[in-house]
Amino acid sequence: MEEYNSGEEVITYTYTDAIFQCIEGVIGGTDYNQNKINQWTASIVERCLNHFVKQGRAFKYIVNCTIMQKSSAGLHTANSCYWDTATDGSCTVRWENRTMYCVVSVFAVAVA
Amino acid sequence: MSDLLKDRALKKEKKMGKDGRPKDSISTVSNVEDPLHHDDTRLPTENTYQLGPYKRHSVPVITEILKDVLTCYLQHETYEAEWSRQMTKTLCDVIRARVKELMIPRYKTVVIVNIGQLSGQGMQISSRCLWDATNDTFATYSFKNSSLFGLAIVYVVYFE
């Protein structure tokens, strides 16, 4: 049971850690900048996608990234999927720093 | 096995950076579903020799569904935290049901709904997909009133 649990941890830790590293690599240590945000979201999405593709698994991937400036405003995100729960899955990582929020969702859909 | 992984929130706070200075970013993970841990107990199915979908999704039809649902549910509402939280989930389910009603076989659906408050903040949402562009597509619609905005994205993916 212990071994099973720690194995589980490693797999999920790898996914979330990879996404976290993608985000951190692009916007870690920066403040919100309206001029660069387009480039940032594109980079984060590109990096995440490349990382998952390199694993060479038979999945189609959908990567969604939202960056929002920190203000008093609220934001809610939800997703609903119609798929085969045995073969398909998703992962959402929420990241924030002093000036902005970033939410990245990755959906992996089995090919066949 | 996947039930154990579902609905598990993993909080990871990296308080100290590499050089010992405190980091100012926090990351939270919500809902990881791992597709790798499935049992290989699927029954072998006969080959259908079908090379592609007989019927594809029509983007204007899905966009019309999104427009209809968002306008209907959000038009006269004002932003409230608790209500918005419920409404995003409700809208997701409603949109998924409406897309399912189109009865296009062999397609999987992913629906994302964002509802946010309008207060002059900057925001950017991007997505990128690795899929078969001949069979898979997406549709989006955004709605805005005086106090809130709503965005719905639907991805439809062919399953062979």
DSSP A35-81: TTHHHHHHHHHHHHHHHHHHTT-SEEEEEEEEEEE-SS--EEEEEEE
Looking at chain B, the whole-number percentage of residues with pLDDT higher than 70 is: 75
Tokens at B34, concatenated: 């791992």
Given a cut of 80, whether residue A13 has pLDDT beyond it is no
The beta-carbon neighbor of B35 closest among A65, A73, A110 is A110
- The predicted model gives A4-33 an average pLDDT of 73
Choosing among 3.30.230.70, 3.40.1080.10, 3.30.1140.40, 3.30.530.20, the CATH entry for A6-110 is 3.30.1140.40
What confidence score (pLDDT) does residue B19 get?
52
Picking from A35, A60, A68 by the largest number of B CB atoms within 10 A of its own CB, the best residue to mutate is A60
A102 touches B at CB < 8 Å: no
Q: Which domains does chain B have, with CATH numbers?
A: 59-158 (3.30.1140.40)
What confidence score (pLDDT) does residue B49 get?
86
Closest to A15 (Cα-Cα) out of A106, A102, A88, A99: A106
- List, for residues B42-91, the tens digit of each pLDDT value: 677 788 888 888 888 899 999 999 999 999 999 989 999 899 999 999 99
Backbone angles phi, psi at A22, to 5 degrees: -60, -45
B126: distance to nearest CA of chain A, Å?
A: 5
A22 touches B at CB < 8 Å: no
Encoded amino acid at B138, one letter: F
What does the mean pLDDT of chain A come to? 85
Residue of A nearest to B91 (CA): A78
DSSP B16: B
Interface of A with B in 37-56 (CB under 8 A): 37-38, 40-42, 44-46, 49, 52-53
| Integer Cα distance of B116 and A71 in angstroms | 12
Please state the pTM of the whole predicted model.
0.79
Q: Which range has the top average pLDDT, A57-66, B4-13, B27-36?
A: A57-66
CB A104 within 8 A of CB B34: no
CB A93 within 8 A of CB A16: yes
Q: What is the 3-state secondary structure (H, E, C) of A4-37?
A: HHHHHHHHHHHHHHHHHHHHHHHHCCCCCCCCCH
